[in-house]
Chains A and B, each alone.
Chain A
Amino acid sequence: MRGVRVVEILSAIERRGGEQVTLPARLCDEGLSALPVSGVGIALMTVDGPSGVVLAATDERARQLEELQFALGEGPCVEASGSGRPILASDLVAAGTARWPRFGAAVLDAGVRAIFAFPLRVGAIHVGVLDLYRDTPGQLTALQFDEALAFAEAATVVVLHLQDYDEHDGTHAPLAEPIDNRAEVHQATGMITIQLGISLAEALLRLRAYAYATERTVSAVAADVVNRRLSFGDSGSGGTTRQERP
């Protein structure tokens, strides 16, 4: 069923504890132990491209790979975020430097032989990129690819929640809940964006928080928004309270 593995990953990193270690760092560590890769990194991205922020990296080389792409404006993570599709460069030596002239040369010098970059997106919401690198060439198997996608989904939830700066009301959706991909959830997100004049990312967070606070499923709340039984724009505080309409 939906996202069982994603829930497992999110629960595992929540349990890991240790206040000083951030959630993205724990997710990278978890990814490193679950997948046959040499390093894992998560970078923030915006619609316009790299933000210049590396959220977490399992080692110095993983961090440098991210920073290099920011500096050069090219590379698999830049491409993955822009195109919205995973970029799988399983043999950087064989591929040569045609695709990413400057980045390609630099990573080969660093001893990196394969990079797999997964965009962290919910439709038009760009939150970042998950990068996996390996110092030996070779493709991911089908199972490893699915596992990497599950990590990318988990990372999307983690990074999205990091953007939730409004920590005051204490009504946040639990972390260990994957994004519900039903149509009405995304339609409701679009509607709430207009109702409150906020970004799609914030609107999705508000929707999830409201469902959590009212002990309903995200899709049930979304259906009410889509059917215009519930509007987020009615309340004075512009928050998670609302008026029911007959």
Chain B
Amino acid sequence: MMSREQLLASTFVDLADTLVADFDVIDFLHTLAARSVQLLDADAAGIMLADAHGDLHVMASSAEEARLLELYELQNNEGPCLDCFRSGHPVAEEDLSAMRTAWPVFTLRLRQLGYHSAEALPMRLRNETIGALNLFRVRPGRLSEADLGIGQAMADVATVGLIQERAIASRELLATQLQTALTSRVQLEQAKGMLAQRTGLPMDQAFQLMRAFARSRNHRLSDVAAQIISRSIDDDQLRQRPHRP
């Protein structure tokens, strides 16, 4: 079992390690989401990136339940993610009643899923905000200052990691990267749907199966999604993976 410090150190190594040949943007953002839940006092974490029109898209989530994805997407209308993306600053409200005033529809749906607080941390590159890291908690109240600092550092490292060709990180390049990330995410959703239909599994479990397979074989998540779509791996192969203790 890793200590929090060891996990933190290894998270930063993982997030910084984006210049490898098999870099996969969705896998990378998923790592950020999963580690956010492990490292911070949060119960769910999601990453939204903005496209060229300023619309926010879910790129990764610590859990892939449909209802949770909807909660991120809902924030194209209202919510901490939207406020954070627009202002470029961390966004949180003191308590539930303040949240209800600021984001009535979002807060209602959040409560229905069993969460009592939500925060958003900006993903910023120089003067531009490209998206936000969303953190949901079952317990009410805000994250501690220490957690906020670590969360923001993770969001910053992840933002830099997204811009692979750092030396020429022009806006144009950023826009093409985001476009590519969006295409990968859409492909992942299509693969999840195909797998869920064939196996009868819920979306979340279909995703877990894909990710576990990718991890155990050292494949990129995007490649596994593409192979499911092209039917070059079947469901039995996906299920044949080393059992974890």
CA distance A227 to B202 in the complex (A): 9
* A121 CB to nearest chain B CB (Å): 5
Chain A, Cβ-Cβ closest to B171: A142
CA distance A123 to B57 in the complex (A): 14
B4 interface contact, C-beta 8 A: no
Interface band, chain A:
35 or more
Digit string of A48-88 for contact with B (CB within 8 Å is 1, else 0)? 00000000000000000000000000000000000111101
B69–A191 touching, CB < 8 Å: no
Which residue in B177, B186, B188, B230 is a CB contact (below 8 Å) of A122? Answer: B186
| A-contacting residues, B192-245, CB 8 Å | 192-198, 203, 225-226, 229-230
Residue in B52, B57, B177 with the greatest tally of chain A CB atoms within 10 Å:
B52
Q: Mark B40-73, 1 if CB is under 8 A from A, else 0.
A: 0000000000011101011000000010011001
Q: Which of B187, B193, B230 contacts A191 (CB 8 A)?
A: B193
Q: Is the CB of B190 within 8 A of A190?
A: yes
Complex alpha-carbon distance, A226 and B51, angstroms: 25
State the Cβ distance, A74 to closest chain B Cβ, in Å.
19
Complex: A190 Cα to B196 Cα, angstroms:
9
CA distance A124 to B225 in the complex (A): 9
How distant is the Cα of A3 from the Cα of B51 in the complex, in angstroms?
Answer: 10
Interface of chain B, helix or strand or loop or mixed?
helix
Q: Which residues of B contact A88 (CB under 8 A)?
A: 172, 176
Report A210 CB to chain B, min CB distance, Å.
15
A161 contacts the other chain (CB 8 A):
no
When distances are taken between beta carbons in the complex, the residues of chain A under 8 Å from B193 are: 186-194, 226
Closest 6 CB pairs of A and B: A190-B193, A123-B186, A186-B189, A123-B187, A187-B193, A194-B197
Q: Which residues on B are within 8 Å of A, measured CB to CB?
A: 51-53, 55, 57-58, 66, 69-70, 73, 76, 171-172, 175-177, 179-180, 182-198, 203, 225-226, 229-230
17 CB < 8 A contacts A-B: A1-B55, A84-B179, A84-B184, A85-B177, A85-B183, A142-B172, A149-B52, A149-B175, A181-B55, A183-B69, A187-B193, A188-B193, A189-B190, A190-B190, A190-B192, A223-B66, A226-B203
